[in-house]
């Protein structure tokens, strides 16, 4: 009967071993759970990446929304807090206190690419191109994927009369992120060089982007291909009147135009963009001799009652002056149109 005490001792050892293993496993699991709770979740990291991507292509409202959501969910996330400040401050670029605010951020982190980009934009807007170029290049060195810095530098080079450098920087922006705004800018550089085929091809890569269609139509004006111009303008109007198309992020951005050296006009709201498109379409109809059609399109823009209609009138007037300068055969018709509607 000696085997019974031995069996009992064996059972106790097995029980203790199992209990010990269970304790260790439970402790390890609790440590794992604790460790996981201290780490940012994968979704948080994804939000940071999404926010950075929005900053890189100049979609600051989207970036603000993304970083705000992450910061509200995780107030300890210092990266989200800083990026939220970056997105917010860019939206105040045209306000009086911008320079002081961005200087404060620069003192805190001179190595931040976005801060240098914004300083470049400030100096470019205040006719200090050398300082602007310096900060743009510094931003690109700090973040080679910052497409918006390449785009801003391309625009500055173009304004300075250096189209080759402008094309290089435009292509750099497109290679990083081939969004319509960057392609349209490259098309406009070709347009200014009278490389009309290259411009139309570049504009044509932008689908459901009304601005590029309207710019293509201006080229066809100059070439006296009015039916092609009309087709592009009608396509632009169709897109502008499609709520689904115009809700896309690319179509939420402002349209930028340089109407004279150092003088720019931007169209922000949908009604402003529609007003400009109706005006352009009315010009083509008038040049084709369709006076009633031209009047109908002008009435459409009048019905919109856009607050900044004077700016749109100035933009169209500059377009027509450029048309006459490029093709004098339209001079008499353009003068008559301007007398009627501008």
The average pLDDT across 184-199 equals 97
pLDDT tens-digit series, residues 78-110: 999 999 999 999 989 888 899 999 999 999 999
Please report how many Cα atoms fall inside a 13 Å half-sphere around the Cα of residue 313, on the Cβ side. Answer: 14
The residue among 214, 218, 265 whose CA lies nearest residue 240 is 214
Number of domains in the chain: 1
Q: Does residue 55 belong to any structural domain of this protein?
A: no
In-domain check, residue 283: yes
246-300 pLDDT per residue, tens: 999 999 999 999 998 888 999 999 999 999 999 999 999 999 999 999 999 999 9
pTM of the model: 0.84
174 within domain boundaries: no
On whether residue 102 sits in a domain, the answer given is: no
Buried b (16+ CB within 10 A) or exposed e, 99-122: eeebeebbeeeeebbbbbbbbbbb
The first and second tokens of residue 44, run together, are 């948080």
What does the DSSP 8-state code read for residue 248? Answer: S
Residue 34 has pLDDT above 70, yes or no: no
Each residue's pLDDT tens digit, 317-337: 999 999 999 999 999 999 999
Whether the CB-CB separation of 55 and 114 falls below 8 Å is answered with yes
Say whether pLDDT at 22 is over 80. Answer: no
Contacts 24+ apart (CB under 8 A), 99-102: none
The answer as to whether 253 is a domain residue is yes
In which domain, by residue range, is 268 found? 183-342
pLDDT digits (tens, 9 = 90+) for 126-157: 999 999 999 999 999 999 999 999 999 999 99
pLDDT at 251: 97
Is residue 161 one of the residues assigned to a domain? no
DSSP alpha helices (H): ranges in 39-77? 42-56, 60-73
Cβ-contact 267, 312 below 8 angstroms: yes
DSSP element (H, E) containing 271: helix 270-287
In a domain, 318, yes or no: yes
Cβ neighbours of residue 61 closer than 8 Å, sequence gap 6 or more: 87, 91
Residue 56: what pLDDT? Answer: 95
What totals of helices (H) and strands (E) does the chain contain, helices first? 19, 2
Find the CATH number of the domain harbouring 307: 1.25.40.10
Residue at 116 is within a domain:
no
Q: Indicate whether 209 pLDDT > 60.
A: yes
What per-residue confidence (pLDDT) applies to 218? 98
């Amino acid at each position: 009967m000696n085997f019974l005490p031995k069996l009992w001792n064996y059972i106790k050892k097995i029980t203790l071993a199992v209990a010990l293993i269970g304790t260790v496993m439970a402790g390890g699991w609790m440590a794992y759970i604790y460790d996981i709770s201290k780490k940012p979740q994968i979704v948080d990291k994804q939000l940071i990446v999404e926010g950075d991507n929005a900053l890189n292509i100049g979609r600051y409202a989207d970036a603000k929304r993304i970083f705000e959501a992450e910061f509200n969910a995780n107030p300890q996330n210092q990266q989200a807090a800083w990026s939220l400040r970056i997105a917010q401050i860019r939206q105040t670029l045209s306000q009086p206190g911008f320079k002081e605010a961005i200087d404060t951020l620069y003192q805190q982190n001179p190595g931040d690419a976005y801060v240098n980009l914004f300083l470049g934009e400030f100096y470019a807007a205040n006719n200090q191109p050398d300082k602007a170029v310096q900060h743009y290049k510094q931003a690109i060195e700090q973040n080679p994927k910052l497409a918006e810095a390449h785009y801003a530098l391309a625009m500055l080079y173009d304004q300075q009369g250096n189209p080759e450098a402008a094309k290089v920087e435009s292509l750099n922006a497109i290679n990083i992120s081939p969004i319509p705004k960057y392609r349209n800018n490259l098309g406009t550089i070709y347009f200014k060089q009278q490389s009309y085929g290259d411009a139309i091809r570049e504009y044509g890569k932008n689908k459901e982007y009304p601005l590029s269609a309207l710019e293509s139509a201006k080229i066809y004006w100059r070439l006296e291909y009015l039916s092609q111009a009309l087709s592009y303008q009608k396509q632009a109007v169709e897109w502008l009147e499609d709520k689904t198309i115009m809700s896309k992020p690319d179509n939420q951005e402002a349209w930028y135009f340089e109407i004279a050296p150092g003088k720019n006009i931007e169209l922000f709201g949908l009604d402003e963009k529609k007003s400009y498109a109706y005006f352009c379409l009315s010009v083509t109809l008038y040049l084709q001799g369709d006076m009633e059609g031209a009047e109908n399109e002008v009435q459409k823009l009048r019905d919109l009652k856009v607050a900044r209609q004077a700016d749109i009138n100035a933009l169209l007037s500059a377009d027509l002056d450029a048309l006459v300068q490029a093709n004098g055969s339209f001079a008499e018709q353009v003068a008559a149109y301007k007398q009627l509607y501008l």
